[in-house]
Amino acid sequence: MEGDSGAALQQLAQACSECRRCSLADGRQQVVVSRGDPRAALMVIGEGPGAQEDASGSPFVGRAGQLLDRMLASVGIDSNRDAYICNVVKCRPPDNRKPTSQEMAACLPWLLQQVELVQPQVVLLAGATAVEGVLGIKGGITRLRGQWRSWQGRWCMPILHPSYLLRNPSREPDTPKWHTWQDLKAVRVRLDQLRAAPDPAPDSSGDP
């Protein structure tokens, strides 16, 4: 089964590389599909590739991605072994602008295929655009972060995007980075609970 899933993900990556569903395809160097372990219980979904990601073909490899890796590691999560990392859109928006709703809608089928093939138990939504693209919820991420949400029978945790944390580096209590660390610790606890005794799918309320 895992072999079938791996082959299907390779086919998906190939199909993504040929995608021209929206105008982002015109300016890309590479389609940025994923990195990490497709067998992981945790999926991390961000907004879209930046310049370094567009050049390398891997998501979250720039400064924000390096910070994400360090913060995940601080709660015992190896980003390459314990997570599957991808984005709402697979091509870099010009000047790193936020992808439009049309661009997110065009790319959503690819993301849904990834979720279906990876079958994560917990989804980490990095930033407001990921929350909007996946859950359809618009609004300030500071209001949404740290609250478990239900999506397709999975637990979703919105967090502040690492690029925002780079601009707010303080680790003092009640700062953005401190709150993100608390959110990631909650994700670690949930993953441990699911590993020990998988609980029923979350109900529609999204409450833990």
**Separation of first and last alpha carbons in the chain:** 30
- Give the CATH number for residue 144: 3.40.470.10
Report the SS3 class of residue 46. Answer: strand
* Residue 45 near residue 123, CB atoms below 8 Å: yes
Domain count along the chain: 1
pLDDT in tens, 29-66: 999 999 999 999 999 999 999 999 999 999 999 999 99
Average pLDDT of the residues in 87-100: 96
The answer to the question of residue 85 being in a domain is yes
Average pLDDT of the residues in 182-202: 88
How far is residue 157's CA from residue 169's CA, in Å, rounded to a whole number?
21
**pLDDT at position 208 over 70:** no
Which range of residues forms the domain containing residue 189? 2-196
Average pLDDT of the residues in 71-89: 97
How far is residue 74's CA from residue 76's CA, in Å, rounded to a whole number?
6
Using H for helix, E for strand and C for coil, what is the string for 62-92?
CHHHHHHHHHHHHCCCCCCCCEEEEECCCCC
pLDDT in tens, 119-157: 999 999 999 999 999 999 998 899 999 999 999 999 999
The answer to the question of residue 112 being in a domain is yes
The answer to the question of residue 84 being in a domain is yes
The answer to the question of residue 148 being in a domain is yes
The answer to the question of residue 31 being in a domain is yes
Q: Which pLDDT value is given to residue 194?
A: 93
The answer to the question of residue 65 being in a domain is yes
The answer to the question of residue 203 being in a domain is no
The answer to the question of residue 96 being in a domain is yes
**pLDDT at position 28 over 70:** yes
